[in-house]
Amino acid sequence: MLRKFYLLPLLATMAMAEAPPAAVTDLLSVIQPAADEASWLAIPWETNLTDARRKADAAGRPIFLWEMDGHPLGCT
């Protein structure tokens, strides 16, 4: 669901340019990820490291830590 919000500026620009609906539909079918490309969305990601450590410990599993510094869009 969240990924569709990224398309809003593009769709707004196309609507202002009065793009035919078929063009918008064609574009969406090309740029939206297929089901096998979006499988990471099904992972129950944790945003709290303490909670993640507790759950990993209880399940006997390791933690995959995805961490970055700076602006989330890379605009530093």
**pLDDT confidence of residue 49:** 92
**pLDDT confidence of residue 59:** 95
Classify residue 70: in a domain, yes or no: no
**pLDDT confidence of residue 16:** 57
Q: Under a CB-based contact definition with an 8 Å cutoff, are residues 14 and 24 in contact?
A: yes
Classify residue 69: in a domain, yes or no: no
Range of the domain at 51: 2-59
**Ranges of the chain whose pLDDT falls below 50:** none
pTM: 0.44
The number of folded domains in the chain is: 1
Classify residue 76: in a domain, yes or no: no
**pLDDT confidence of residue 50:** 95
Classify residue 49: in a domain, yes or no: yes
**pLDDT confidence of residue 48:** 92
Classify residue 24: in a domain, yes or no: yes
**pLDDT confidence of residue 64:** 87
Classify residue 29: in a domain, yes or no: yes
Classify residue 68: in a domain, yes or no: no
